Structure 1
Amino acid sequence: MRATDDDGFRGLAETLGGIARTLQAEPDVETTLQAIVKAAVDYVGGAEHAGISLAEHRKIRTVAPTSALVETIDQLQYDFHEGPCVDAITEHQTYRVGDVGKEARWPAFGPAAADHGIRSMLSFRLFVTDWTIGALNLYSSRVNAFGQRTEEEGQLFATHAAIALMGAQREAQLGVAIESRDIISTAKGMLMERHDVDAARAFRMLVEASQAANIKLHEVATWLVEKRAV
């Protein structure tokens, strides 16, 4: 490999390292998503727009789009059930498209995307181990905006983004779990004081109320704490 290539990849590695540290420092999932798409447009050559498609319960939804155009193009893919984003998630591959309007693989989506001014697309599967989180999608109004090297560099970026996103999601889930535990503990304390019962009996009272009302335990506890009544 030429020295210039070595320098280029060293520079990319430093950039990716900085991006990874920045993403890990983001306080929540939404902010992490926004940081990912902004960095993608800033650092991936040819990208004019970016968005993330999250795969949730057999449905796909767009989050943190850098423009309204991203939402429009993504919705076309969801409606037609075809396109590089959909295939990146379902086929577990990266898709680079130089002129989507002439792409035979997506006869319905391609011309529709071109009608909205999008010509090139680059979609990366976002995954950690075997779990697919979604896809990172890049868009350009130029034909052949993304080359082989851009795809390789973007794949490295997508890997960092997937790890950061996974970490943010786990922290969010942990935060919800801790918050639920705390609110249940507070509700138990109120019941113990008001009814002069021990912790076990107070917890059973919450469980019985949850079953009778057919709502989650933490929701019963939240209602009790907020309303200050049983």
Structure 2
Amino acid sequence: MESPGFTDFLLSLSTLAAAAFGGPHPLMCAITVERDGSPATVASSGPEAQRLDEIQYSLHDGPCLTALRTTQTILVTDVGTDPRWEVYARDMSEENVRSVLAVPIPTDTGSAAALNCYSSESGVFEPGTVERVQEYAASISTILRLALRVHPAPPYPEHLRSALQSRAVIDAAVALVMAQNRCSHDQALALISRAATVQGTRMHDIAADIIAGAGPAAGTTDRRGTDPTGS
């Protein structure tokens, strides 16, 4: 109640979570809140955790969003061997993330939340650790409910507008790549993701170039003359 705002309040919670459960393997933690069907990272233990969350949002699926929407704990012990979320797993590997734990935080009707923990080591989230994170998520539920009531979502929050715009650009580029290459949605998304990795930029930037006709489209080369798929 003494914190200056909703984001600052949650930042202290996610930072505490990272410190409490990191142990010998430091964790990157973030809290995602979804209102009106739109998720956003409202706080993180650092810029790395927020970037990892945003990768998931761009794919519209992953451990965090699944935990948040199903109210079930999602554990990825090793992204290199987990068969779920193929494109997401590859992106996490490229970010040097080896394991992910997403735990839902109970909230009131109309909103949902999850605590997301990332580690550069596989097998970090042992049963005891998972249980402690779940207990922590449950313990902050009451405080989080109060914070959501005290700080209602603004009609047009800047972070939400930006996220929706980015999603629309990526979706449009995926549709173009699918039409040009007669490939699936996942294949088109993987191509754009690979091009972003090769060029060291964001998927949104690659997507914007594709739409503008100035960047790599399906079956073409990227700006440096290399095939974005690496083939």
| TM-score bracket for the superposition, by shorter chain length | 0.5 to 0.7
Q: Distance in 1 between matches of 2:148 and 2:5?
A: 8
Counterpart among 130, 134, 138 of residue 151 in structure 1: 130
Size of the aligned set, in residue pairs, is: 151
TM-score for both structures, normalised by structure 2: 0.60
Counterpart among 43, 50, 53 of residue 74 in structure 1: 53
Alpha-carbon deviations, 1:170-217, whole Å to 9, x = none?
2235xx9xxxxxxxxxxxxxxxxxxxxxxxxxxxxxxxxxxxxxxxxx
The percentage of aligned residue pairs carrying the same residue is 27
- Deviation beyond 3 Å, 4+ runs, structure 1: 24-28, 128-132
The letter of the residue matching 2:77 is: G
Q: Secondary structure of 1:100's match? A: coil
Report what 1:221 is aligned to: none
Q: Does 1:169 align with 2:167?
A: no
Q: Secondary structure of 2:48's match? A: helix
Counterpart among 19, 33, 37 of residue 42 in structure 1: 19
Say whether the 8 Å CA contact 1:89–1:132 is kept in structure 2.
no
Q: Secondary structure of 1:136's match? A: strand
Q: Distance in 2 between matches of 1:38 and 1:96?
A: 20
How far residue 53 of structure 1 moved from its aligned partner, in angstroms, is 1.0
Say whether the 8 Å CA contact 1:49–1:70 is kept in structure 2.
yes
TM-score for both structures, normalised by structure 1: 0.60
How far residue 26 of structure 1 moved from its aligned partner, in angstroms, is 4.2
Alpha-carbon deviations, 1:125-170, whole Å to 9, x = none?
1113666521110111001111111111111100122221111222
How far residue 83 of structure 1 moved from its aligned partner, in angstroms, is 1.3
Q: Does 1:117 align with 2:57?
A: no
Q: Distance in 1 between matches of 2:107 and 2:30?
A: 19
How far residue 25 of structure 1 moved from its aligned partner, in angstroms, is 5.6
Say whether the 8 Å CA contact 2:68–2:114 is kept in structure 1.
yes
My pick for the range that moved more, 45-54 or 117-126, is: 45-54
The letter of the residue matching 1:134 is: A
Say whether the 8 Å CA contact 1:29–1:165 is kept in structure 2.
no
Say whether the 8 Å CA contact 1:102–1:111 is kept in structure 2.
no
Higher relative contact order (CA 8 A, sep 6+): 1
Q: Does 1:88 align with 2:67?
A: yes
